[in-house]
Structure 1
Amino acid sequence: MTILHDIDPVALQLPIWPHGIHWYGIMYLLGFAAAFLLGRQRIRAGTFAGIDENRFGDLLFNGMLGVVIGGRIGYVLFYGWSDFVSDPLFLLRINEGGMSFHGGLLGVMAAVVIWSVQSKKHVFDTLDFLAPLVPPGLMFGRIGNYIGGELWGRYTGKDWGIIFPRAEADLYGQSANQLRVLHESGLLERYARYPSQLVQAALEGLLLFLILFWYSRKPRPRYAVSGLFALGYGVFRFLVEFIRQPDADIGYVIWNWLTMGQLLSLPMIALGIFLLVLSRRQKEPKA
């Protein structure tokens, strides 16, 4: 069974804003809201000693800036460098090209370092606290990717999958009615792709959150929760890349199968293993 992707990425049209409110932006808001609610719950449970809800609000705001700024800069550096060289203003057009998780992660880490120094907290105590708050945002973000019909998967080669008209040069631009007629006649089955965005939402978002939430219920040694997050995300992202379509302007980086997403995930896997080993050398769990 194939499904024709026919979702309007604009959730709400506004007369005062020609671009409207996009589902992707709403997903970002839901991700930040989830992080706020979960973080406040953890603060009240005494998970992060010496920090009240006001200080957590400052941390979350800094993290939001880090996600947006780092995510965009990361996308330009990793995936859109040629576009940026030809047009530097491409950096500011976030509706073209999107965001990079790895860049957003670096942006959050920079924000965490600044906040931790100001608050006289160990950087990894802050990261261990924040790690379980991140996967819900990843889940909502990937759902936003699916709604927007972007970052699609590879062809299934079967009679099932999702047909993304934006992914096909000979389909893009046809009217919705024309696409429905073609789909109902069975002429679009060869375009069926894996819904890699939803697979990422399930693995990098929901499953990783459940693992981290369960693991962090009890006091853990410093570096442990951050290490588990880095390892889990790196492994899940590496695996999903096997069904996700490589970026058209990059393709496979080496060996005719390794993608940029997999290449960027390898340091995260290595970092996660290193942090987990380092956590085993801590004398006792944090209070």
Structure 2
Amino acid sequence: MLIHPQFNPVALDLTGLGLPIQVHWYGITYLVAFGLFLWLANLRVRQPWYANAGWTRRDTEDLLFFGVMGVVLGGRLGYVLFYKPEYYLQHPLEVLAVWKGGMAFHGGLLGVVVAMALFAHLRKRSFWQVTDLIAPCVPTGLASGRVGNFINGELWGRAADPSLPWAMVFPQAQDGVARHPSQVYQFLLEGMLLFAVLWWFGKKERPLGQVSALFLLGYGATRFVAEYFREPDGFLGLGALGLSRGQWLCVPMLVAGAALWWWSARRAKVQA
């Protein structure tokens, strides 16, 4: 079995030069995620159905700004409300202490939904056209975030058979147990696999809302599967039916994705 390499989480440290600057790998993965989003979104707006609708590079830059705000605010509030509401109710000022960690994807998703709704309203565009545009550009950012999790040796997996060739001991767990490198699983599933499927699907003009629906279904399914290999948060454990909090949060995504796909297909049939 393997041992986690114990990377230094600080990529650049200038404190030795008298400068109060430390650049963490996790922060770099966020920058990579935003850069990949901008690059891919610029490719998307060149597709005829978006170009003919007046989408430009300037729009993608504005989308990135709105998206970043949604990810940061929604991700933090989602963690507070979904994972530790009792703690933050007793320590409300710590909600602002983002440097201590604590972000939730499902909260970030809701934050992005609100941000995209605001963008669509201000630009007088269809909300589903906006989300269809950005959906294939999101998974690479998720993949980048999982790289950051692996570098930090956090969010490790559940116990694995030590004979599994890629089973890994995470010293941060302080138990010497061979575990699934669930960060790698999530990188491959909700990151690269979901990106490949959405990018392929989005290469053709699809009925309004269908690309967004596929994102909800695809992420909900891949995250649900990956959670079987990821160690649940110690303060939560497993919930009803032996499912983790992450899996339960995927259920409404799957339901919403199925409903949106049905609505999209029905709308396209009526308009045909």
Sort the TM-score into its range (normalised by shorter chain): over 0.9
Instruction: Supply the AA of the counterpart residue of 1:83.
Output: Y
2:20 equivalent among 7, 17, 20: 17
Q: Which has the higher helix share?
A: 2
Please name the residue that 1:267 is paired with: 252
Structure 1 residues 285, 122: CA separation in 2 closer, same or farther (over 3 Å shift)? Answer: farther
- SS state of the match for residue 252, structure 1? coil
Q: Which runs of 5+ in 1 are unaligned?
A: 171-187
The answer to whether 1:74 aligns with 2:78 is: yes
In structure 2, C-alpha distance between the alignment counterparts of 1:45 and 1:207, rounded to whole Å:
22
In structure 2, C-alpha distance between the alignment counterparts of 1:84 and 1:157, rounded to whole Å:
37
Structure 1 residues 285, 212: CA separation in 2 closer, same or farther (over 3 Å shift)? Answer: farther
- Contact residue 70 and residue 108 of structure 2 kept, 8 A: yes
Please name the residue that 1:195 is paired with: 181
- Contact residue 4 and residue 153 of structure 2 kept, 8 A: no
The answer to whether 1:51 aligns with 2:68 is: no
Cα deviation per residue 1:39-68 (whole Å; 9 max; x = unaligned)? Answer: 111112334222211122112101111001
Give 1:92 shift. Answer: 2.0
The answer to whether 1:226 aligns with 2:230 is: no
- SS state of the match for residue 63, structure 2? helix
Cα deviation per residue 1:23-54 (whole Å; 9 max; x = unaligned)? Answer: 11100110100000011111123342222111
Please name the residue that 1:240 is paired with: 226
Identity %: 44
The answer to whether 1:163 aligns with 2:169 is: yes
Structure 1 residues 31, 6: CA separation in 2 closer, same or farther (over 3 Å shift)? Answer: same
The answer to whether 1:104 aligns with 2:90 is: no
Instruction: Supply the AA of the counterpart residue of 2:130.
Output: T
Instruction: Supply the AA of the counterpart residue of 1:166.
Output: Q
Please name the residue that 1:3 is paired with: 3
1:38 equivalent among 33, 37, 40: 40
In structure 1, C-alpha distance between the alignment counterparts of 2:253 and 2:106, rounded to whole Å:
9
* TM, length-normalised to structure 2: 0.92
Please name the residue that 1:140 is paired with: 144
Give 1:7 shift. Answer: 1.0
- SS state of the match for residue 98, structure 2? coil
Cα deviation per residue 1:83-135 (whole Å; 9 max; x = unaligned)? Answer: 31232232222232421000000010101000101111110110011100100
1:121 equivalent among 122, 125, 146: 125
- SS state of the match for residue 99, structure 1? coil
The answer to whether 1:277 aligns with 2:262 is: yes
- SS state of the match for residue 21, structure 1? strand
Instruction: Supply the AA of the counterpart residue of 1:95.
Output: W
In structure 1, C-alpha distance between the alignment counterparts of 2:33 and 2:173, rounded to whole Å:
26
In structure 2, C-alpha distance between the alignment counterparts of 1:151 and 1:36, rounded to whole Å:
27
- Contact residue 31 and residue 136 of structure 1 kept, 8 A: yes
Cα deviation per residue 1:162-197 (whole Å; 9 max; x = unaligned)? Answer: 1112122x6xxxxxxxxxxxxxxxxx4xx1110101
In structure 1, C-alpha distance between the alignment counterparts of 2:161 and 2:182, rounded to whole Å:
15
CA RMSD of aligned residues (A): 1.7
Q: Which runs of 5+ in 2 are unaligned?
A: none
Equivalences, count: 264
Instruction: Supply the AA of the counterpart residue of 1:254.
Output: A
Instruction: Supply the AA of the counterpart residue of 1:35.
Output: F
- Contact residue 158 and residue 231 of structure 2 kept, 8 A: yes
Please name the residue that 1:176 is paired with: none
